[in-house]
Structure 1
């Protein structure tokens, strides 16, 4: 029998065999019943084996409990772009976590100020046609002309209501608000939905006791803008032969109640007919440089000598000026403007650098080389596209291919009442693209407002429509709404505007 034995830890099931191998139990020598296992009171020397712990696959969540987090599309964005976030969720199901919902990956996002000088130029290829819609030519209100027939097609966007303020019949030019119907992506206007939901009926104001517009005859609304619940309305005397008219604007204090709102005016924007049209935002990253919050312009109508002979742009701050006064002058600053004077009109300096050709010959395109701005050109809307170095202006042009005549007979036999293209089809919607940094040079005194030239221009895809007279831009979605005067010809007895919608995508997007 061994004199000593070392017990090693073994499984409980073999403990007895181990004791036997060490000479029996600890109480005595071999028992008479040698070879049989005897009960023993000796404590077991084997370690206690704990049950294997199940892994915590839900990371502390109870069954059915949900967990949330915020993730961002990108770690850095350049103003005015804002950080885009999404709320993601997961939960404990059958003792395991489900995958996180959503697709955004980044836990943090930082908005950095834009380096304006390095912002990209927007290209016309970044404009995507989305479709169009129509609005009813029916009567909405009890005034003399409460409808959209022969409307001048000036519009303003109400983002909160997804609606448009729009000017009515040319004889009265009251203003109504219509819900925007669903846009149909078709190039055939017959497919478009017809919106007939008037959120506000037509409310006349010109030649009423509500406000003095300062203009008796040939009153024409050119542009509108909704600001802080108030509606600014820009207009002109359409046949101001002397070019001396200075009244340009009125405002509805409560745009949600056009029929009963208090009205203020008239106001006189510096620039008169050169500025009394569209109003759009100056993106925040440009406002300090320009010293203003909005940009306005206008370049269409009769009596060309009192108009800008090219798209215009005037910087101003209506909250600090117009909205603080009931009438009177309002300061603006021209950063793009083309007075109807020799060497100050918009012309191609590479073609007519010495201006040896007359202004009349340039505008009537007698040499058939002028592709920039003719006597038929008009600018009806402009906007600085957020996130870019581009001021987009759009309107109409013609006579670039056939030339222009005055009271001429066109190739289709039509006798014109004034300037017209010699070929009837030589008319189209048009665009002009400008570097905002060039306009800033004007602001800083490094250039004259008539020395700026567009970096691109040409025909605009508009289903062949002409007479583009109004626009509105939604900076939240990048959508551009465009109105064409008298273009809805599907009803033989009505001529309301027709509306197209575009997406202004970011360059390279």
Structure 2
């Protein structure tokens, strides 16, 4: 694990709804780097990993990576993981091996794609199949309601039957990652799965303007039929009127929390702790953000971007699950909850001589069974093809309690 900068701590509130076994909190220092693996950029079937969407899941039982390839294709493939290495030499990292070629899946959903869904945003293994969340990348009217479908057989990606579309109750606000809720917290939070997302896509009016969390019953998912609305419990969510930080373009240069270019790719409750951990990337905290500006390196942005092109970084946000219980009980609004710790996170291979700015994650996945966290570092491998860089897969384990708690319960930068 390389160095990181913790931005802030907030007061740890007394617990009122969570068992004592959950009172421990997670810190970013509890992440342990286990190594990296390369992904071939070659074409397999209907896609390749160049310009990847990158949404993925890890099936540790079969030691496999299921991943979405090129952003224009939205095709899924399976790769066998051959291991991870802590070597700092990119050429020495092991390469995953293709097992099932890329197969396009959006055009195989049986119900008519009335919402023009074209972007896969999250995947999770359920009962031998894959639950898939997806959205229209640019929903100008912010009126899409379809969010999800289910690929029944992960052993046959190219021929598996698909069910859907389904409609998550909060729409795109919840249609990103899917993670398991530890058993001791399921009753308090009202479900056994967390569905979450953030303002990763255009059209802020439909987005959660900060990371979200909604509890969902897995049984409800499996019993749903095409067109059904799936009920959720709101635990953490933001909007245009109630943003995580009001200065989204950081005109004040004092916003180090969440900006117009922030994204989140996974959020999960760390087992045995009272922490909901969210990982993604952010930018514009140092230089501010403009819209369709020319950056310092001469690049003309198509939308919002930092004034300084290198003002981007991998980022994390940690939340107290006790606050979620209070939201569930109606004691706190879901947009009034704030993280107790957040900051930049330096990842291996994010800084390379071949690139003028840091590489940032484009996807992440939490393996609940093994408590391992994976990041897909975008366009970080240029050794295979200098014109079409491939992502790198990073693996971290979690060891809670590595950093002593502050005696007062309060820490500051």
Q: TM-score, normalised by structure 1?
A: 0.71
CA distance in 1, matches of 2:197, 2:88: 28
CA distance in 2, matches of 1:365, 1:231: 38
Equivalent positions of 1:315-326 (< 5 A) are 315-318=215-218, 320-326=219-225
Query: 1:224-278 deviations in whole A, cap 9, x for unaligned?
Result: 0001111101011000011101111110112222222221000001111111110
Query: 1:382-406 deviations in whole A, cap 9, x for unaligned?
Result: 1111011000001111111111111
- Cα offset, 1:185, TM superposition: 0.4
- Cα offset, 1:140, TM superposition: 2.0
> Segments of 4+ in structure 1 off by > 6 A?
none
Shift in CA distance, 461/442, structure 1 to aligned 2, threshold 3 Å: same
Query: 1:345-364 deviations in whole A, cap 9, x for unaligned?
Result: 002xxxxxxxxxxx4xx111
Q: Does 1:168 align with 2:69?
A: yes
Shift in CA distance, 264/219, structure 1 to aligned 2, threshold 3 Å: same
Shift in CA distance, 118/249, structure 1 to aligned 2, threshold 3 Å: closer
Q: Does 1:492 align with 2:380?
A: no
Matched residue, 1:366:
251
Query: 1:473-508 deviations in whole A, cap 9, x for unaligned?
Result: 223332111113333333214333221111121123
- Cα offset, 1:471, TM superposition: 1.6
- Cα offset, 1:291, TM superposition: 1.7
RMSD: 1.8
Q: 2:361 aligns with which of 442, 464, 468?
A: 468
Gap regions ≥5 residues in structure 2: 1-17, 351-357, 404-413
CA distance in 2, matches of 1:469, 1:146: 17
- Cα offset, 1:220, TM superposition: 0.5
Matched residue, 2:172:
273
Shift in CA distance, 414/218, structure 1 to aligned 2, threshold 3 Å: farther
Secondary structure, counterpart of 1:497 in structure 2: strand
Matched residue, 2:151:
252
CA distance in 2, matches of 1:508, 1:437: 22
CA contact (8 A) 1:308 1:337 kept: yes
- Cα offset, 1:117, TM superposition: 7.4
Secondary structure, counterpart of 1:437 in structure 2: helix
Moved more, 478-487 or 244-253: 478-487
CA contact (8 A) 1:297 1:311 kept: yes
Equivalent positions of 1:129-140 (< 5 A) are 129-140=33-44
Q: Does 1:388 align with 2:273?
A: yes
Give the structure, 1 or 2, with the largest relative contact order (CA under 8 Å, sep 6 or more): 2
Q: TM-score, normalised by structure 2?
A: 0.86
- Cα offset, 1:174, TM superposition: 1.4
Query: 1:315-356 deviations in whole A, cap 9, x for unaligned?
Result: 0012x1121123121111110001121xx1002xxxxxxxxx
Q: 2:293 aligns with which of 405, 408, 416?
A: 408
- Cα offset, 1:217, TM superposition: 4.3
CA distance in 2, matches of 1:213, 1:154: 23
Q: 1:124 aligns with which of 12, 25, 28?
A: 28
Q: 2:371 aligns with which of 470, 474, 478?
A: 478
Q: Does 1:446 align with 2:331?
A: yes
CA distance in 2, matches of 1:314, 1:440: 12
Query: 1:266-309 deviations in whole A, cap 9, x for unaligned?
Result: 00011111111100000011111112000011111112221111
Matched residue, 1:200:
100
- Tell me which structure has the larger Cα radius of gyration: 1
Shift in CA distance, 390/481, structure 1 to aligned 2, threshold 3 Å: same
CA distance in 2, matches of 1:189, 1:172: 27
Secondary structure, counterpart of 1:440 in structure 2: helix
CA distance in 2, matches of 1:334, 1:401: 32
Query: 1:37-87 deviations in whole A, cap 9, x for unaligned?
Result: xxxxxxxxxxxxxxxxxxxxxxxxxxxxxxxxxxxxxxxxxxxxxxxxxxx
Q: Does 1:156 align with 2:54?
A: no
Q: Does 1:458 align with 2:351?
A: no
CA contact (8 A) 1:433 1:455 kept: yes
